[in-house]
Structure 1
Amino acid sequence: MKNCGNPFKALFPKKNDACICPQVLSLLNDFETSLTVSIAELVPKGDDGKDFITVSWMIQAMHSLCETHQSFTTLVTNLELPASDMEQSLIFMHCDISAKLLQLCTAFESELDRLNHGNMLLKFAFGKPEEFSLSHLDRWRQHMASKNPRIENCGEVLSSLVESMNHHHSLYKKVKKTKENEKEKVLLRALYGAQVETLYIFSVFDAAFTGSSKNLLYLTIPKDMEEVPWGQAFMELENMINMEIKNTFLSDRFMVIKDLEAVESGVEKLYAEVQERSVVPNLLMVEQLNQSVMELSEMIDLVFKEMSCLFDALTSARDALFDKLRNKLEDKLAGSK
């Protein structure tokens, strides 16, 4: 697990809200309230806390990120940034981050495509039970054992995102104790919250898809930072998921995603029965496995849908920030005439 400190902690000294006007503070409160609710909804309750890395949870997590980045776009638009030199640096930083997040989205989509192809192989195998042979399951096993180069590179991109935040930290020291630049402070604080949730969930997806926890992030909220309203919900979510993933690997289970593990277990049982008895597989077993495959395909399609929403939200936030630079340039050109 990677333990990443908070590169923005110096930006939020205690009681810094005192220098933020009510209108701007209201925008920040709206964003952070939405973020708090969004994160809290990802924390399993009751019995749902057991084995909760499911495709259903992944759908919910992508939906949460989509809402967060849509809220961030709303915040950017309503802040009406004047695009000062500092804000231009923030804009370019966010665009760099967005590009890397979009790269991760593309990698995750390619892995979902690979999983869907595996489902297609099983659907073909079960299409005509009388023509079933172990070669069909062998093709599925070989396909699922294959590696996805794009997923293998996600860890490097995640590390780059953390390094990028640290690299840009020096640019913001000038605003950490000032009474001016209130909009920059709000933008930074909102961006920090969005990035914490996004980077952590993306690291969970990486662990789920690779079957390795080496890129799983452990993000801490420093004690000397002003308490953020979403902090407690995030720490609860992170602690539960990290513990679940850790227990998964300690139990020598390769599959982190429970739905995939269930399909894999069903395939292996069917394979063993046919290999041992050299007969046509039990139709009930085939039907149950086929139903699991169909349900998994439908759920993966929903992950695709939410990931597409996140892709659009990231693009919209980037475009909204670039509009600020474009407006400043147009104002400069108009003033020079």
Structure 2
Amino acid sequence: MSRPQEPHRPFFPHGNPFRMIFPKGSYLSPKLQALLNNFEETLAGRLRKLVPKHKDDVFSISWMILAVQLLSETHNDIKSLITDLELPVVDWDDKWIDVYLDNSVKLLDICITLSSELSRLSQGQLLLRCVLCNLDQTRSSETLKAKSSINSWRQHIGARNPKIENCFSIIDKLMESLELPKVKNSAKGKTLMRAMYGVRVQTLFVCSALMSALTASDKKLVDFHVAGTYLWAAAFSDLQRFVFGEIRNLVLSDRKHHLVKELEAVATSVGELYPMLQEGVEPIETDSLQKSVAELRKCTDKLSSGLDLLAKEVDGYFQILLSGRDALLCNLRLSGSVIDSSKKHKMEEQTVR
């Protein structure tokens, strides 16, 4: 999901976005204000949870899993808020619906890309299993096979997934759509738009961070400048400064070729093991070699289980997005609202591939 509100960037080419969202004299009833405050305070709490206790925790798979989990919770919260607002779909501005459908399909594409990349990394684990299996043997021919599998793993992990580059362009388009169409003079509509802006910022932050981790690149990081009027602004600012700062430090460091912590641990273990195989040492003849094999096995197991769990979280988020789209389209049909042929065609084009 994703949606509404103004562009919070260093400059506002179209004037003050907050004046457009909450024009002078606009009023929220105590009930609406309470709903909005509860949503924003909950979002602030989630953002604070994402600030790692230590810089080494940035881009551990456990942190990435948490990021997707919290994002899913926020998307569920916005659906609950819509229900609590008692704002029927028939009262939604057509532009809200168009932007929501367009953005949601983009997020579904991002999920598909993330799943594709996680699957690719998991396939690389099969090569490491071959390495470990070969090194359990005592024959030199098996050592040669292990060396070959390590070379294949390095090539596989070092290859670029072309879908990732396309994903960056999708994120760029989502960034551009942060500037929303004007909101009707509706207190409920303004409340929804303001809440949805928080969802959109969290979504883009998590997507950008995960893509940077998987590509070991900071070229697509965009710093958001969120106004202090949002109850979650300070928490987001702290999170963004910490995580984006660490990404940039890691990218600039010669030590890091992989930003995913567990993947870097596997790469380090492989780097220590490979020279021993080059020297032609038999597996059962040296303690150091056996220790290296044991360490690689431990790192490989940890990475494999982490990738499986992260893939499940991404799939869960995908299902939340999909159910949100389905619910909206179903409500439009049930409401009997008029959808012109061009809009119907657009919806058909946005069907998940």
Q: 1:214 maps to what in 2?
A: 219
Where do 1:79-228 residues align within 5 Å?
79-83=85-89, 87-129=93-135, 130=137, 131-133=142-144, 134-166=147-179, 169=180, 171-172=181-182, 175=184, 180-222=185-227, 227-228=229-230
Residue 291 (1) aligns with residue 303 (2)? no
Q: 1:15 to 1:38 in 2, by over 3 A?
A: farther
CA distance in 2, matches of 1:143, 1:14: 54
Distance 2:57 2:31 in 1: 43
1:39 and 1:234 in contact (8 A); partners too: yes
- Contact 1:62–1:307 (8 Å) recurs in 2: yes
> Which among 299, 307, 327 is matched to residue 320 of structure 1?
327
The aligned runs of 1:246-285 (5 Å cut-off) are 246-252=248-254, 253-280=256-283, 282-285=289-292
Shift of 1:15: 7.8
Name the CA distance, whole Å, in 2 between partners of 1:311 and 1:25.
Answer: 30
* Secondary structure, aligned partner of 1:20: coil
Q: 1:51 Cα shift?
A: 4.7
> Deviations for 1:253-283, whole angstroms, at most 9, x for unmatched residues?
2211111111101111111221134443712
Q: Aligned letter for 2:48? A: A
- Native 8 Å contact 1:5 1:221 kept in 2: no
Unpaired runs of at least 5, structure 1: 333-337
Cα deviation, residue 312, structure 1: 1.6
Please point out which of 224, 229, 243 is paired with 2:231. Answer: 229
Task: Provide the TM-score with structure 2 as the length reference.
Answer: 0.82
1:11 aligned partner: 20
- Residue of structure 2 aligned with 1:308, choices 287, 305, 315: 315
Instruction: Summarize deviations over 1:104-135 as a string: whole Å, max 9, x none.
Output: 01101100001101112101220242123311
- The alignment partner of 1:217 has SS state of coil
2:124 and 2:157 in contact (8 A); partners too: yes
Alignment partner of 1:106: what SS? helix
CA distance in 1, matches of 2:231, 2:11: 16
Deviation, structure 1 residue 331: 9.7
Question: What is the identity, as a one-letter code, of the residue corresponding to 2:300?
Answer: V
SS at 1:74 equivalent: helix
Change (3 A) 1:103 1:10: farther
SS in 2 for 1:219: coil
Q: 1:22 Cα deviation (Å)?
A: 2.8
Q: CA separation of 1:4/1:269 partners in 2, compared to 1, >3 Å: closer, same or farther?
A: farther
- What is aligned with 1:24? 32
Counterparts of 2:322 and 2:41 in 1: how far apart (Å)? 23
CA offset at residue 284 of structure 1?
Answer: 1.8
How big is the shift at 1:29? 2.5
CA distance in 2 between partners of 1:261 and 1:251 (Å): 13
Helix, strand or coil for the counterpart of 2:223? strand
Asked if the contact 1:76/1:320 (under 8 Å) is kept, the reply is no
Amino acid in structure 1 at the alignment position of 2:251 = F
Compared CA separation, residues 11 and 303, structure 1 to 2 (3 A)? farther
What are structure 2's unaligned runs of at least 5 residues? Answer: 1-7, 340-353
On the 8 A contact 1:91/1:322 being kept in 2, the answer is no
Q: Contact (CA 8 Å) 2:44, 2:232: kept in 1 or not? A: yes
CA RMSD of aligned residues (A): 2.4
Q: Is contact 1:65-1:198 (8 Å) kept?
A: yes
CA contact (8 A) 1:72 1:317 kept: no
- Whole-Å Cα distance in 1 between the matches of residues 85 and 197 of structure 2? 16
Aligned counterparts of 1:73 and 1:82: Cα–Cα separation in 2? 12
The aligned runs of 1:39-118 (5 Å cut-off) are 39-45=47-53, 48-83=54-89, 87-118=93-124
For 1:152 and 1:305, how far apart are their aligned partners in 2?
23
Offset at 1:84? 5.3
Identity %: 35
Q: Give 1:329 shift.
A: 1.6
Write the letter of the residue equivalent to 1:272.
P
Contact kept, 8 Å, 1:44 with 1:52, in 2: the verdict is: yes
Counterpart-to-counterpart distance in 2, 1:322 and 1:189: 22
Contact 1:73–1:316 at 8 Å: present in 2 too? no
Larger helix proportion of the pair: 1
What do residues 17-69 of structure 1 show as CA deviations (whole Å, max 9, x unaligned)? x6122333333223222211111100123xx2335221110000010111010
